[in-house]
A and B are shown apart, each in its own frame.
Chain A
Amino acid sequence: MAAQHSKSRRATNDPLWLRVLLICVAVGFVSVLLVLPLAVVFAEALRSGVGTYFAALKKPAAWQAIKLTLLAAGISVPLNLVFGVVASWAIAKFEFRGKSVLISLIDLPFAVSPVISGLIYVLLFGLQGLLGKTLAAWNVEIIFAVPGVVLATLFVTFPFVARELIPLMQEQGDEEEQAAIALGASGWQTFRRITLPNIKWGLLYGVILCNARAMGEFGAVSVVAGHRGRTNTIPLYVEALYNEYNAPAAFTMASLLALLGLVTLAAKTFLEWKVHNQLRATLEPTSAE
């Protein structure tokens, strides 16, 4: 039974001084720890003036980094989106043994440190790795090159869409799909006409998070790309600039990512609300009083 803390519930009210104190502590803590870093990024980026800001963005190295970031995200997100949908269909609409094991396995990349996520690909494709000699013979470069970056990004963003869709589809159940099948629809038609509209907000939510991680991943990509300067995503470029003591340029690039972060946050909040509303609408008629 949900708690209803209306003003008149005397026994569950805290004294005013306590409320004020706790709220101040909460707001203060969040402001210092979370808001301040955000503010600093924009402040430092614009410190040397708006002209310098845009000049930093126009550099060829900057564009290289932006392009690589977009490429990595552009490949990882759609792939993991399809995977997420396929996996949640299998998991949410059917009952089979080993389901929880499967779900835990899908969650694995979450539990693994970013650096280790990169390390495993180096172990596989690096010069001293398992397939290193083979790849060198074929003149295929994976580590320290674009394919490696894409692979590492793929790994770390693997669970995002699935994690969002699985509980959502489980809560929605499969009655509507069963009805569609009983009416003669094919599997694909059922998915397209019934399932997809129901999960569209949750799907978008997963995609937003997946994309944020794809564009912002640092640790794993850092390991795989090396510090060669040839293959930089935006986060790696930020690090490179920072290590060259070019703080204003570093913060300028960082501000792009910060903007991405803010857009992600806004989209996330909006979509969360949408998903919640949709769930409530589908569940309300059947919930007991």
Chain B
Amino acid sequence: MSIQVDHVSKSFGRHQALDDVSLTVEDGELMALLGPSGSGKTTLLRIIAGLDIPDADERAAILFHGQDVARRQAGERQVGFVFQHYALFKHLSVFENIAFGLRVRPRSTRPTNQQIEDKVHELMKLIQLESFGRRYPWQLSGGQRQRVALARALAIEPKVLLLDEPFGALDAKVRQGLRNWLRRLHDELHMTTILVTHDQEEALEVADRVVVMNQARIEQVGTPADVFHRPASEFVMDFLGQVNVFHGRIEGGQAVLSGLVPAGGVAKSKQPGHLYVRPHELEIERYLNGTPAIPACVARVNPAGAVAKIALTTREGGDIQVDLPLERLEQLALQPGETVFVSAKKARVFTPDYVI
């Protein structure tokens, strides 16, 4: 089921949580809402679920498959919501937690006890906790509780699955495992899923499309590759992955920034700007060879990893981070204290009102 959100705003007292946000979620896709705390992503999710009400606005609309659901209560929207801290019913067993949504159906649509039992067992198998039916939430680990929360949401056969930082409270290893499991589950069920997270690795790994949010607005919507390699704003580039920032000016269509000049780009006039370069987009040479480069002193060489990480300091005291393939490091045989030249293979410039 597709979801369309139009011109939604939300403020809590003086704090603006969402500012005129619009978004379209395709049927069956797994979308991640990514951003730092306070960016509004959880608020947006809760408004879609019906747990919070957007501020009054004539243009505001929330459409599920074309139908306006703004009036509907949370229970009527057929959404499965998984809370950050699970919100399991402590006084009910795992079985009863999962069965809850089915037990509270109005008499006319309520399944029989046998049907409920079958459905719950099916779901417990899906979450790989088949024999845990009689246990209580306090007897489960964090990862197990999260799976129960998911099964409970799936039991009501929702059209949309909404997850609020579902793996935030778990260990790194468990998180990784659950992430993969969620993706496989999505591929199997093809249910429209929206995932809120502040962990960019998670978003980029799992989602079909990523929505980067910041300070109550959407910065960019795109595939993981889009937002990482073709960021639309400074914030997006800075938030995702590592980045080096250089300051300088734009002159005559070219950025003259601390000696580094990237290829291409047309600019109107002399303006201040920031040059953003990822560590793997920088190159190190021992001698100047014609391409614009900055001299820098090698501070630290860290070869322990898939790529070698080199930390350098410029004459002005700034820090540069360069990622080199291990073979290239071997070629250069860098030592701390040596002065070398750093050039940019590719870079992005952001000015206050102009982006190259």
Q: Judging by beta carbons under 8 Å apart, are B52 and A10 in contact? A: yes
Q: Judging by beta carbons under 8 Å apart, are A6 and B12 in contact? A: yes
Q: Write out, one digit per residue, whether chain B residues 38-70 have a CB within 8 A of any chain A CB (1) or not (0).
A: 000000000000111100000000000000000
**Cα–Cα distance between A9 and B12 once the two chains are bound (Å):** 11
Question: DSSP majority for the B interface?
Answer: loop
Chain A residue contacts of B73, Cβ below 8 A: 10-11
Q: Judging by beta carbons under 8 Å apart, are B85 and A1 in contact? A: yes
Q: Judging by beta carbons under 8 Å apart, are A10 and B53 in contact? A: yes
Q: Judging by beta carbons under 8 Å apart, are A8 and B85 in contact? A: no
Number of inter-chain CB pairs below 8 Å: 18
A268 to chain B, nearest CB (A): 32
Q: Judging by beta carbons under 8 Å apart, are A8 and B74 in contact? A: no
The total of chain A residues at the interface (CB under 8 A) is 6
**Cα–Cα distance between A179 and B248 once the two chains are bound (Å):** 54
From residue 1 to 26 of chain B, which have CB atoms closer than 8 A to chain A? 10, 12
Q: Write out, one digit per residue, whether chain A residues 6-33 have a CB within 8 A of any chain B CB (1) or not (0).
A: 1011110000000000000000000000
Q: Judging by beta carbons under 8 Å apart, are B12 and A10 in contact? A: no
Q: Judging by beta carbons under 8 Å apart, are A10 and B51 in contact? A: yes
Q: Judging by beta carbons under 8 Å apart, are A10 and B50 in contact? A: yes
Chain B residue contacts of A6, Cβ below 8 A: 12
Q: Write out, one digit per residue, whether chain A residues 184-215 have a CB within 8 A of any chain B CB (1) or not (0).
A: 00000000000000000000000000000000
**Cα–Cα distance between A203 and B52 once the two chains are bound (Å):** 44
**Cα–Cα distance between A213 and B233 once the two chains are bound (Å):** 70
**Cα–Cα distance between A10 and B52 once the two chains are bound (Å):** 6
Chain A residue contacts of B52, Cβ below 8 A: 8-10
A134 to chain B, nearest CB (A): 59
Chain B residue contacts of A10, Cβ below 8 A: 50-53, 73-74
From residue 143 to 186 of chain A, which have CB atoms closer than 8 A to chain B? none
Q: Judging by beta carbons under 8 Å apart, are B53 and A11 in contact? A: no
**Cα–Cα distance between A67 and B85 once the two chains are bound (Å):** 60
A16 to chain B, nearest CB (A): 15
**Cα–Cα distance between A6 and B85 once the two chains are bound (Å):** 19
**Cα–Cα distance between A1 and B52 once the two chains are bound (Å):** 19
Which partner residue on chain B sits nearest A12 by CB separation?
Answer: B51
A77 to chain B, nearest CB (A): 43
9 closest residue pairs by CB, A with B: A8-B52, A11-B74, A11-B51, A8-B53, A10-B53, A10-B51, A1-B85, A10-B52, A10-B50
Can you sample 18 A-B contacts with CB below 8 Å?
A1-B85, A6-B12, A8-B10, A8-B12, A8-B52, A8-B53, A9-B51, A9-B52, A10-B50, A10-B51, A10-B52, A10-B53, A10-B73, A10-B74, A11-B50, A11-B51, A11-B73, A11-B74
